[in-house]
């Protein structure tokens, strides 16, 4: 069953058509990667889903409910959270205060406390640093905190924009291992925008490749990772 569907979605920034009629779906419980070069429209796709960019045409359906035109706050309440590119955390707040901000729209105090424990179990370093300011953390720790912020909204669908950007290889490995746990243990569906196509495809069940605002190809990740066009363009190695 599709948890998320995009139908002929278009979006523009002024005269620039960032999305030119894309259609895709994310099945409940899946890990889906969205690949493409800079400017392909990947981040715009996530922003349209989360309500930060309003589509000019097409439909976005979440759990069979059309969410076009809803505010970002309402979309979070429905069960979609986004971890934006660039490890955007509240640098002047502590780790725990950051996580509390992720649960700002929730009223279930017992559930919020449960999710504090969930995040700390997923990222033990955040528990160790719970009183430190977000801005004092390393890049990898800030990415952990950014993901934790998203999880505190208790989403059914977590959108991640370039989670590996600027991180050391060991930190990237840790982040993707934790994302796999989030998907499997918490039954959280993931849609991951990622330029590191190799690690994205190895950790996804399905993938879409964007080119200049359109879907250029799609298929099971295990097939795309063997596709010569994908390998040459995104992995930098020709077979």
User: What string of DSSP letters covers the chain?
Assistant: -EEEEEEEEEEEETTEEEEEEEEEEEETT-EEEEE--TTSSHHHHHHHHHTSS--SEEEEEETTEE-TT--HHHHHHHTEEEE-TT----TTSBHHHHHHHHTTT---HHHHHHHHHHHHHH-HHHHHTTTSBGGGS-HHHHHHHHHHHHHTT--SEEEEE-TTTT--HHHHHHHHHHHHHHHHHH--EEEEE-S-HHHHHHT-SEEEEEETTEEEEEEEHHHHTT-HHHIIIIIS---
Q: What pLDDT sits at residue 227?
A: 82
Q: How confident is the model at residue 237 (pLDDT cuts 50, 70, 90)?
A: very low
User: For tokens 């620039």, what's the residue?
Assistant: 16
Whether the Cβ atoms of residue 59 and residue 7 lie closer than 8 Å to each other: yes
Give the mean model confidence (pLDDT) for residues 157-169. Answer: 91
Name the residue with higher pLDDT: 165 or 49.
Answer: 49
For 52-95, the pLDDT digits (tens) are 999 999 999 999 999 998 999 999 999 999 998 877 899 999 99
Q: Is the pLDDT of residue 229 over 80?
A: no
How far is Cα 28 from Cα 15, in angstroms, rounded to an integer?
Answer: 35
User: So what's the pLDDT on residue 63?
Assistant: 95
User: Which of these, 200, 191, 203, lies nearest to 230 by C-alpha position?
Assistant: 200
Count of all residues that appear for the chain in the document: 239
CATH topology of domain 2-197: Rossmann fold (3.40.50)
Check whether 238 has a pLDDT greater than 50: no
In this predicted model, which residue has the larger pLDDT, 4 or 171?
A: 4
Residue 239 has pLDDT above 80, yes or no: no
């Amino acid at each position: 069953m599709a948890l998320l569907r995009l139908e002929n979605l278009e979006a523009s920034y002024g005269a620039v058509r960032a999305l030119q009629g894309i259609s895709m779906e994310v099945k409940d419980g899946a890990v889906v990667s969205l690949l493409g070069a800079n400017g392909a429209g990947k981040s715009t796709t996530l922003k349209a889903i989360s309500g930060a960019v309003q589509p000019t045409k097409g439909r976005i359906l979440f759990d069979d409910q059309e969410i076009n035109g809803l505010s970002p706050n309402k979309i979070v309440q429905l069960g979609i959270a986004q971890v934006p590119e660039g490890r955007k955390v509240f640098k002047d707040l502590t780790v725990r205060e950051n996580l509390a901000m992720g649960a700002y729209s929730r009223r279930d105090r017992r559930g919020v406390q449960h999710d504090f424990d969930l995040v700390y179990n997923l990222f033990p370093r955040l528990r160790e640093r719970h009183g430190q300011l977000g801005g004092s953390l390393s890049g990898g720790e800030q990415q952990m905190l950014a993901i934790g912020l998203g999880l505190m909204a208790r989403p059914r669908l977590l959108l991640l924009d370039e989670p590996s950007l600027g991180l050391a290889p060991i930190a990237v490995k840790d982040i993707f291992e934790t994302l796999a746990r989030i998907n499997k243990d918490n039954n959280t569906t993931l849609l991951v925008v990622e330029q590191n196509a190799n690690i994205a495809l190895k950790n996804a069940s399905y993938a879409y490749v964007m080119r200049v605002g359109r879907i250029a190809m799609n298929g099971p990740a295990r097939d795309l990772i063997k596709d010569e066009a994908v390998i040459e363009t995104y992995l930098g190695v020709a077979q």
